[in-house]
Chain A
């Protein structure tokens, strides 16, 4: 049996839930994998793991330590979801004064121990594989496990959401309705969920930062602004889903 653990850091459990639903609807996997550590299910065996899925970003030194320890016990570490991969929603506070942020949110701010900028887990430990999404697509976890079972890994293809949008035969909301859409600069994997409901993609799978440079991203954001996207939208996107790129792209 292949031993699997799910570790949760700062996150909403959305990715864990997606994984759980996907696992339960693919029963044949339950015969091959043993789920050893999954706090949501009350599974707490901590000795060693073949696969460690980590949800969430690193917000404080306690989490950092826990993550390092779990890494030592695991053969393969998979970053699960945009928080773990790029920082996620909680990165919205990146670049702000952390004490101010605490005051606006919590009644006893001094009890809150957090870094000013949340860290993607790759800042702390070696990541063997990343599954992006906010939340992730459960099929990606199933695909990962099936491939792991025969001895390999899935192939990562850095594509835009537009690819899935067009393959699914959807009509582009940006071109046909003038709705701002982040599909062109966002990593694929969701199956173009938002455009299939006539909405613009809001970038939850993360910005395609590795093959887009600053000027191109800025040009793209300018285009969104021209279509009437509120400036705050750009801020949310760039910080929440493009943590790293936010440091150099500023629009809105």
Chain B
């Protein structure tokens, strides 16, 4: 990854106040609205970014399996939300129909605003790529929201957290394509920028940053390399071997019972996963006597997933846990020709039973 001759002209250096400038330029000069990780009330959620004070610049997430603490620092990786919250909202009102089907109305998804995703993570960018392939133009809500995104600005990670394993999933912690601007924080003040599109170059030129010095670029590349290594040493076998092994062992009930023995089927892993897309439909009648079709997030770990009248296609929890892993590692590749897991580690962090996906995969392939 580190080239022999470092091209410093691709990188620019500024400080965190340049992020403020960047936000203002995008909002004022380009008339865009920004969506991203938002620091609010001591938490990092998702929302509209209006200025530097909305960014989680002075916090850092400390994580372990089943544990998340936000503390002082400057290395925010992520929280339980992801761009999925914006692209594939947890509740999607599709359609409102009269009882003779003569009238039908679609609710407010004709987004004409141009959004910019600001400060999303490399794993997030890859997760969007997964959703694009999986859902893409098929889900109208997703399609409209996706199209309303006119630019993507990524914050790269120079220090992954304990649960991050994007490296081995080839989804981070840096980006090489499909972004407009990417930046990384060299320390609590200095920020290094690069562009990935002509739009990104135009915007960056307005920031009047200085071109990075050789030492800074070297520092950046060195840290990136370390971060990649740290997030890559995870599995005992190669991805190809993992996939073969998982499929070969799919029928081993005892093995999967063992692997899923601590799981209570709460579904948190599915909900926080930036690439899980499953939806439950809900039908109701509103106060104006109109039938409403709504879709809500669901997930394969829930009992209701696969439950049908007078039966169940996946009654046992182990089959649903197995599907979670098989889907991410084996079925996504068969469906969309890329892995469904981007290694963000959210499912590990936010599992109340501290179940570690990495460990489960390792146990499955060696057990």
Contact = CB atoms under 8 A, between A and B. Distances in A.
A75 interface: no
A211 B271 contact: no
Contacts of A171: 43, 45, 79-80
A160 B265 contact: yes
A89 B280 CA distance: 32
A172 B264 contact: no
A184 B91 contact: no
A169 B45 contact: yes
B262 A175 contact: no
A212 B264 contact: yes
Contacts of B264: 160, 184-185, 212, 216-217, 219-220
B212 interface: no
Interface of A: 26, 28, 143, 146-147, 150, 155, 157-160, 162-163, 166-169, 171-172, 174-176, 178, 181, 183-185, 208, 210-212, 215-217, 219-220, 223
Contacts of B70: 176
Given A150-B99, A178-B67, 20 more contacts: A146-B284, A155-B283, A159-B303, A159-B304, A160-B302, A162-B352, A163-B299, A166-B80, A166-B90, A166-B268, A171-B43, A172-B350, A172-B352, A175-B68, A175-B351, A176-B70, A184-B353, A216-B264, A216-B317, A223-B354
A150 B266 contact: no
Interface string B50-73: 000000000000000011111000
A157 B304 CA distance: 6
Nearest to B307: A158
Interface string B264-292: 11111001100000001011110101000
A163 B267 contact: yes
A216 to B, nearest CB: 5
A251 to B, nearest CB: 14
A136 B268 CA distance: 24
Contact of B352 (A146, A158, A159, A174): A174
Contacts of B90: 166-169
A11 to B, nearest CB: 27
Which 6 residue pairs spanning A and B have beta carbons closest together?
Answer: A184-B266, A166-B271, A167-B90, A211-B303, A157-B304, A160-B266
A172 B317 contact: no
Interface of B: 43, 45-46, 66-70, 79-81, 85, 90-91, 99, 261-268, 271-272, 280, 282-285, 287, 289, 296-299, 302-304, 307, 317, 349-354
A150 B285 contact: yes
Contacts of A147: 284-285
A26 B266 contact: no
Nearest to A210: B303
Contacts of B79: 171
A111 B66 CA distance: 51
5 contacts: A166-B90, A175-B67, A185-B264, A212-B265, A223-B353
A176 B285 contact: no
Which residue of B45, B298, B304 has the most chain A CB atoms within 10 A of its CB atom? B304
B209 to A, nearest CB: 34
B268 A172 contact: yes
Nearest to B268: A162
B69 A184 contact: no
A138 to B, nearest CB: 14
A208 B296 contact: no
Nearest to A220: B264
A147 B45 CA distance: 36
Contacts of A150: 99, 285
A217 B317 CA distance: 13
Nearest to B320: A211
